[in-house]
Amino acid sequence: MGILEGKRIVVTGVLTDASLAFSIAKAVQEEGAEIVLTSFGRAMSLTRRIARRLPSEPDVLELDVTRPEQAAEVAGEVGRRWGSLDGLVHAIGNAPESCLGGDILRAEWPDVATALQISTYSLKVLAGAFAPLLEQAPAGGSLLGLDFDATVAWPAYDWMGVAKAGFESLARYLARDLGPRNIRVNLLAAGPVRTMASKSIPGFAHFEEVWDGRAPLGWDVHDPGPVGKTAAALLSDYFPKTTGEIVHVDGGFHAMGA
């Protein structure tokens, strides 16, 4: 039996089989969980195609996080299927081109607002919609978000770095408010992995060049496996009193001064 045997988990953000969300979906299935994926718009067909590459093909439900009513509809569908929800993975982030590239003064408010709505506020949208199901989980619910360390300024990351800083703060406040409902809220700060999302970040190659040499455990930008395994553990019953935490899966890069 796997550590997630009998668990039911919703995973957002699966676009390709190189994505971190796909690695998480695969890992939690291998540990015994039943899952549902979400996607939206033109990406739906892509997510359905990639879903066939998982150990067991899951259903894909449409969920646009800029439409809170749709999140409520998906939560309703999940509730009708399962009655409760053990885990929810937030793997959603996006920013207009002007918000990235190394000149943070370039972006105007409408683009910044889009980045913050999709990459930060969406965690609140999902938490609000799915909390009634997560609090019904027999061993408590787990809300897990994918992060990229926001304690420093990264090359070219700009407003996505600001969005992630807000994401980290929001997770702490959600941990405060959802803890009494027996819902844990944690973030997983992953090292750089070559995904579709990373390709949209100018200067991503710089991360690839320095990360492996500085991380004491080493780092492979082509291997999202460690992220998937850690996510599975955080979604399991093995972290029953851990909330408001940021767990780094980056080979130790974040702890090194030089």
**What ranges do the domains of the chain cover?**
74-255
Q: What's residue 210's pLDDT?
A: 84
Mean pLDDT, the chain, rounded, equals: 94
Average pLDDT over residues 210-232: 93
**Angstrom distances, CA of residue 24 to CA of 43, 93, 156, 203:** 19, 16, 26, 26
Check if the beta carbon of residue 147 is closer than 8 Å to that of residue 252: no
Active site residue 121: no
Q: pTM of this prediction?
A: 0.95
Active site residue 26: no
Q: What's residue 144's pLDDT?
A: 99
Q: Given CA atoms 165, 167, 173, 175 in this order, what sign does their dihedral have?
A: negative
Cβ neighbour number for residue 80 with a 10 Å cutoff: 8
Identify the CA nearest to 191 among candidates 214, 211, 164: 211
Residue 209: pLDDT band (50, 70, 90) is confident
17-21, 33-37, 46-50, range with the lowest pLDDT: 17-21
Q: From CA 70, how far away is CA 62, in angstroms rounded?
A: 8
Note the CATH architecture for domain 74-255.
Answer: 3-Layer(aba) Sandwich (3.40)
Give per-residue pLDDT as tens, 92-138: 999 999 999 999 999 999 999 999 999 999 999 999 999 999 999 99
Q: Which of 157, 199, 229, 241 is catalytic?
A: 157
At 171, list the tokens. 């997770």
Q: Which of 164, 199, 229, 241 is catalytic?
A: 164
Check if the beta carbon of residue 88 is closer than 8 Å to that of residue 234: no
